[in-house]
Amino acid sequence: MRLTAVSYLNTKPFIYGLFRSDLAGIMDLSLDIPSICAQKLLTGEADIALAPVAVIPQLPQAYLISNYCIGATGAVKTVCLYSEVPLENIQQIYLDFHSRTSVALVQILCREYWHIQPIFIPATEGFEHRIGGGTAAVIIGDRTMGLEKKYPFAYDLGEAWVNWTGLPFVFAAWISTKPISAELTDRFNQALGFGLEHIPELLKIIPFNPAFDTESYFKDNISYDFNEAKWQGLHRFLGYLAGENNYKLYR
């Protein structure tokens, strides 16, 4: 079973659960940046991917195979727009090449919620150092840790979405392009659930970062349950992204 998952801190409870489960012996798991997870799902290099949900409209069909996701019901903390000037003075935005969902989200927020019209620039390595004046950047993942102290303006995209729509946001979900058996799906969900239930145990073995409250991040910023509200939030996002009838999504 070929799996790919996001290589960021927020995925570690899932990875811990999978490797502590009886699935460990039948998994070929790679850890990648989100955009590569999406690409592997598109090309068939992965059977199951914890992939950015923005890839869904590009798939012939998408099956959500888990009761869990990488979501947010407020500030997510590690997906932000960083700037030296307030929103209304931003002229251009670098879009993090690690991301698919977040770069789509910021464009929707600019157009529909913030009502600003910056130029969007696909980013390359080192783009984080080009923030200044009217140039802002979307940065995601572990590289964001501590950046809120570096820039006077940091706009949390998860928080902005919730404030605008009243719905939670789903950044990444466990996706397959083919149906998975009920038996395997059940085992998969049990493994992921085990990882989430044992976060205190996980915190003892992952590297400690004195500048970042990892326990609070897992508990307060990342929302892992894929509930009905997140299902609604996901469809709302995909509707803006692709139109209501331009994707096939099943669970």
Q: What is the full DSSP assignment across 1-68?
A: -EEEEE-SGGGHHHHHHHHTSTTGGG-EEEEE-HHHHHHHHHHTS-SEEEEEGGGGGGSS-EEEEEEE
At residue 204, does pLDDT exceed 90? yes
Report the pLDDT averaged over residues 132-155.
94
Considering only the top CATH level, what class is 2-71+168-250? Answer: alpha beta
Are the C-beta atoms of residues 22 and 188 closer than 8 Å to each other?
no
> What pLDDT score was predicted for residue 211?
79
In contact, 226 and 66? CB cutoff 8 Å: yes
Q: What average pLDDT does the segment 88-100 reach? A: 96
Q: How confident is the model at residue 242 (pLDDT cuts 50, 70, 90)?
A: confident
Distance of CA 185 to the CA centre of its chain: 21
pLDDT, residue 208, reads 82
The boundaries of every CATH 3.40.190.10 domain in the chain are: 2-71+168-250, 79-165
* pLDDT of residue 245 exceeding 80: no
Reported in sequence order, the residue ranges of the chain that DSSP labels E, i.e. its strands, are 2-6, 28-32, 48-52, 62-72, 79-83, 92-95, 119-122, 135-140, 153-156, 169-176, 223-225, 249-250
Residue 244: is its pLDDT beyond 80?
no
pLDDT at 210: 83
| Multiple choice CATH, 79-165, 3.40.190.10, 2.102.10.10, 2.60.40.420, 3.40.109.10 | 3.40.190.10
Lowest mean pLDDT, pick from 154-158, 211-215, 244-248? 244-248
In this prediction, residue 59 carries a pLDDT of 95
Predicted confidence (pLDDT) at residue 64 exceeds the cutoff of 90: yes
Residue-level pLDDT at 207: 87
What is the model's pLDDT at position 90?
98
